[in-house]
Every structure is written in C-alpha cells, then in structure tokens.
Structure 1
Amino acid sequence: MGYSSGCHTTFHHRYHIVWAPKYRFKVLHGEVRLRVREIIKQVCVEMGVTIVNGALSRDHVHMFVEIPPHISVSDFVRRVKGRSSRKIQQEFEHIRKRYWGQRFWQRGYFSTTSGNITDDIIMRYLDRHTHKQGFSPSP
C-alpha cells in the first residue's frame, strides 16, 4: 500500500466510483466513449486526482481513484459529470437529440472506499470487467 503526500499531509484515500448515463442508455461507445475518457482524464489532471484503474462499459463508468484530502468525492464527481455532460452534448448531435438538452448522466453515483474490500479485489474486478476500454494509471 503506497501513501501519497502533499505539503502537510500523507494520505491513502482511494475510492471506487460508479455512475451511468441517464436512463442507462448504452451510449458509451465509439467516439463518445473516447471523448468521455479524455474529458475524465483532463479533469483528474486538473484536480490532482490519480486514476488507479477504470473501465467504461456501454452503459456505465467505473473508476478507482485516489483523491487528495482537500477535494471531496462529491466535488470530484460533480466536476467530471458536469464537464463531460456539457461537452458531450455540444460535440455529438445524436446525444444532444437523444437527451434533448437535459443532463447526460443519471443523478447520483455509487462510491465506496477500498477499506471495506481490498484494493486487490477492486483491481481484479476492473481488470476482468467486460466491454471495457480501461483508463491507464495516471503518471
């Protein structure tokens, strides 16, 4: 188990987070999948969040991330979902028509720390996850 450190902190805050498109439509494929993946990576870099692992299925997103203590999980998810929703609807007309100006993502998300189960179990699950186009770990 590796610890990260900031100016005045040492931490190991890892979260397994899952969220889905509204109505659980299977829209995360092709160019949309690639763009969502790219936007998520950009937000992670901006916020200092480390991607440990992740997977995009056609109808949901799984992420295993390490979030610094000064950022709440809800702030991270709000930023990722908000920015990706806005950009996806701007860039893909078929998505904009399907959701007709409403939110792209379902309300809410699932989150758990890796304390209830081990990091290894989460990593094995994500590695076995079907239909995935994974996130490579952050540098």
Structure 2
Amino acid sequence: MKKVEYNTNRHSCYKLQYHLVVTTKYRHKCITGEILKRLKEISLDLFRKQKCTILEMEGEQDHIHILFEAPPQVQLSKLVNTLKSVSSRYIRKEFSEHLSRFYWKPYFWNRSYLLLSSGGAPIETIKEYIKNQETPNTANTP
C-alpha cells in the first residue's frame, strides 16, 4: 500500500486535490493545439504564483481539464475566476484572428465551471472509518 505524503504549513497537514473543468463560451470548438499549449503555460504560471501545483492538464476543442493541489488558504472561486479572466485576456489578444471566426464579442470561457474534490479514499471508506471510531467510555469519566 502506497503511503500518502501530506503537504504542511505552520499549523496543518493537508492533501487537497481538485479537478477543474472549464468550457468555452457556447461550447465552440475553438481550442487548437497552439492555444492549448499557451493555456498550459498561462495556467502553470498562475497556479505557481498562488502556491498551487498542477498535477495534470489536458483539453479538447471546447474545454480543458486541470487536476491540481492547493493549500487550504487558497480561495478556490477566486483562483478559478483569476485563471479564466487572465487566460481569456491573453488568448483573445494572441489569437484574435482565429477567435474572430467564433466570437464577435470579447468572449472565450463560459461563465460556469465544474470543480470537484478528488484524491484520497472513496467517500464510503471514509464514512466507514469515521463510523468505526472507538467511542469513549462514559462510565470512566470523572
């Protein structure tokens, strides 16, 4: 069995992993290989600045997936919104000619996103572990 390695800061140990999915506006199939490569560069830089680690990132023509770790102090909604606004600004500027075939307004990402917690044991295993904790003996309390 593989031993879990935790991250630490001054007052906690943690292992927080998330799966993020972001789709293009109207699910237009406008992400090319070159755009995906640039999205990876932008994402790596942005996540590093936020003390987050990208474990895996790939995408298709209309969406991207990012598996990442984040410390507990990171506000996930702010991280996602920063990623979307910064990457959209760069991609729209650098690939404006290509994107003009898909968008007549300054769009790139859909307003929505999917964020899932991931990693660790399945939820049923955790429930069982908690349920089977030894209950303190109330007869021996002072």
Q: TM class by shorter-chain length?
A: 0.7 to 0.9
SS of the equivalent of 2:110 reads coil
List alignment gaps of at least 5 residues for structure 1. 119-139
The separation in 2 between residues aligned to 1:62 and 1:29, in whole angstroms, is 15
Instruction: Name the residue aligned to 1:109.
Output: 113
- Cα gap change, 1:28/1:50 in structure 2, threshold over 3 Å: closer, same or farther? same
| 1:63 counterpart residue number | 66
Identity across matched positions, percent: 33
Partner-residue secondary structure (3-state), 2:34: helix
The corresponding residue for 1:37 is: 40
Q: Secondary structure at the match of 1:54?
A: strand
Runs of 4+ in structure 1 off by over 4 angstroms are 115-118
Give the corresponding residue for 2:125. none
CA shift digits 1:16-59 (9 cap, x unpaired): 11111111111221321111111011101111111122211121
Comparing 83-92 with 24-33, greater Cα deviation is found at 24-33
Q: How many residues align?
A: 118
Q: If you compute each CA radius of gyration, which structure gives the higher value, 1 or 2?
A: 2
Q: Does 1:87 align with 2:90?
A: yes
2:104 aligned to which of 82, 100, 103: 100
SS in 2 for 1:106: strand
Counterpart secondary structure, 1:100: coil
- State the superposition RMSD in angstroms: 1.9
Q: Kindly provide the amino acid, as one letter, of the partner of residue 93 in structure 1.
A: S
> Using a 3 Å threshold, how does the CA distance of structure 1 residues 116 and 107 change in structure 2: closer, same or farther?
farther
Q: 1:18: which partner in 2?
A: 21
Please report how far the alpha carbon of residue 94 of structure 1 lies from its aligned counterpart in structure 2 after TM superposition.
2.2
TM-score normalised by length of structure 1: 0.76
Question: Which structure carries more strand by proportion?
Answer: 2
Kindly tell me: are residues 59 and 116 of structure 1, through their superposed partners in 2, closer, same or farther at Cα, counting changes over 3 Å? farther
SS, match of residue 2 in structure 1: coil
Aligned residue in 2 for 1:133: none
What is the aligned partner in structure 1 of residue 137 from structure 2? none
**How far apart, CA to CA, are the structure 2 residues paired with 1:41 and 1:9?**
25
The one-letter code matched in structure 1 to 2:83 is: V
